[in-house]
Chains A and B, each alone.
Chain A
Amino acid sequence: MRNVYVLGTGMIKFGRYPDKSVPELGSEAALSALKDAGVTIQDVELFASGNLFQSNAMIGQRILQQIGQTGIPVINVSNACATGSTAFREAYMAVASGMYDITMAVGVEQMGKQGLLGGGGGGADPAYATEGRLGSGLMPAVFGQAGMEHMRKYGTTLEHFAKISVKSHKHATKNPFSQYRNEVTLEDVLNARMVAFPNTLYMCCPTGDGAAAAILVSEDKLKQYANGRKRARVAASILTSDPYTERDLTLPDVSTLTRRAAKKAYETAGIGPQDVSLTELHDCFATAELVHYENLGLCGDGEAGKFIDQGGGMHPGLGGKSPVNVSGGLLSKGHPLGATGVANICEVVWHITEDDRAKERLVPNAKVGMAHVIGLGSACTIHLLTV
């Protein structure tokens, strides 16, 4: 496999854009990435588009119909919350394999004020709907219970989960791309309306709209276009699905597939968790972030509570270590499903290449960035990027 580099990135501020279409949002991010890379759409040889809710609507082609119909191969990707990162991986593999030299991935989603996701059942007659009658399959319930497993095993407290939300909101105040930029106190988080125990409102990510894009190139093209600018290399691009585990079909197991992906990512890159300068991980709920500290090896099993209490996950500028979600994470930055996986990669790339777009929140001397995404059902991607 060939070395692959991120030549350019683009992202729009996550938020709500009721007056724009999905292809328009995606096009904005794509044009921004082209400009950043210093290439044109005519240079791009393959286009991977990640979008979940309109995955039957040829979003990739419709973006090219806005920014340049060059006739290149387009792949429309749908992989739950890992949609964007799976599109990025398609673009990565196309270059790594040697088939293409310049590819682009765009992740885009428009959710508006869509409410709770998940749940359902029942088919044609709502009398047979299972939600609320046979427990809950809603996302807050699933990820709440992932946190409850940790509480059961290790005595984790509500304060531990709540502290993650405080941290992410604090981080978001420095990110102009973030949907929410308000600070919250521990009391605010604990006293907020309960959604699904133990996650209160501030421990749940919002719905919203957004888009992010990346342009990937081979080493030869990097030399041609980088003009001496620092560019990130994709050191590992891993995708896993949920292996058989005891309760996975009843309560989706978000840990085992993450652990497998992390192990493989570290092996592929030839590094360990101690080498990671910053991590963007899939904090769709505060409970999810806590379990992923251990799943990604940022701390030992059963130590996530202690990790948080000792400043783990906090930006070093705020006195923390092993920074996690300095963008504000899904909790504050937002989680437009298809955009998330590409946006996470943009964030870590910006830090390790000292990009102006992360200027206010830059993790100093960052050399390795990790971007992790879980799509429930389940898919997990981990990308390691290095300079």
Chain B
Amino acid sequence: MAEQSKAESTEQPGKRPILPFLKLEPTPHLVGSKCGKCGAVYLDLKRMACSKCGATNQFTQIPLSNKGNVWVFSVIHQSFPGIKTPYVTAIVDLPEGVSVKSNLVDIDPEELQKNPQQAFGMPVEMVANVVSKDRQGNEVVAFQYRPSKN
């Protein structure tokens, strides 16, 4: 661990994605693995087999849209220490046939609770937000969603 830190400390700190299926270049976007046999899409770039049809070694990486629609959400009022509440967690359906889970930002949680129906199907777009700094000083970037602006 110490050696690793030493080796990496010679590099300039930069931005790192929070999970491997978030790519930051050329612009932030998600990638998925698509099964060549049945078309199921996974947020898992090392997938060995398809859990829908069982096909092996038939995956190709595909870029995923930055726009989607909210399937459902919850407003989290109680969480682990250090996590600011309330915040909105949402399941977002992407047009490629896969859904993702993340924070829904730029929206009033209290308003959503008063009128939850407004969120169902809501068009949203991905935003890449810096959420923390790792031990090497890199900024950790997460993908989150906000109501679509256009």
Contacts and interface: CB of A to CB of B under 8 A. Distances in A.
A130 B143 CA distance: 10
Interface size bucket, A side? 35 or more
A130 B140 CA distance: 11
A127 B134 contact: yes
Contact of B72 (A119, A127, A130, A148): A148
A196 interface: yes
B133 A152 contact: no
A67 B98 CA distance: 52
Contacts of B79: 116, 119, 131-132, 136, 138
A342 interface: no
B19 A134 contact: yes
A225 interface: no
A116 B76 CA distance: 12
Contacts of A251: 71-72, 91, 99, 101
A135 B101 contact: yes
Interface residues of B, number: 46
A305 B94 CA distance: 30
A128 B90 CA distance: 19
Contacts of B74: 136, 140-141, 144-145, 148, 196-198
B42 A130 contact: no
Interface in A137-160: 137-138, 140-141, 144-145, 148-149, 151-152
Nearest to B83: A132
A193 B75 CA distance: 12
Contact of A128 (B18, B72, B116, B144): B18
Nearest to A132: B83
B132 A133 contact: yes
Nearest to B113: A197
A133 B18 contact: yes
The dominant DSSP class at the A interface is loop
Interface in A191-206: 193-198
A171 to B, nearest CB: 26
B76 A127 contact: no
Q: Is the interface of B mostly helix, strand, loop or mixed?
A: strand
Contacts of B134: 125, 127-128
Interface stretch (A23-31, A73-81, A241-249, A374-382): A241-249
Contacts of A131: 79-80, 83
Question: Which of B80, B113, B142 has the largest count of A CB atoms less than 10 A from its CB?
Answer: B80
Interface string B113-129: 10011001000000000
A196 B76 contact: yes
Of B42, B77, B102, the most chain A CB neighbours within 10 A belong to B77
B80 A148 contact: no
A197 B86 CA distance: 10
A227 interface: no
Given A132-B87, A145-B91, A140 B101 contact: no
Contacts of A193: 77-78
Nearest to A242: B51
B135 A244 contact: no
Contact of A247 (B19, B99, B103): B99
Contacts of B113: 194, 197-198
Interface string B50-82: 011000000000000000000111111111100
25 contacts: A126-B132, A127-B134, A128-B19, A128-B140, A130-B142, A134-B18, A134-B19, A134-B101, A134-B102, A134-B143, A136-B76, A136-B101, A145-B91, A151-B117, A152-B117, A193-B77, A195-B77, A196-B75, A197-B76, A246-B97, A246-B99, A247-B91, A250-B98, A250-B101, A251-B91
Closest 4 CB pairs of A and B: A132-B83, A135-B89, A144-B74, A127-B134
Interface of A: 116, 119, 125-128, 130-138, 140-141, 144-145, 148-149, 151-152, 193-198, 244, 246-247, 249-251
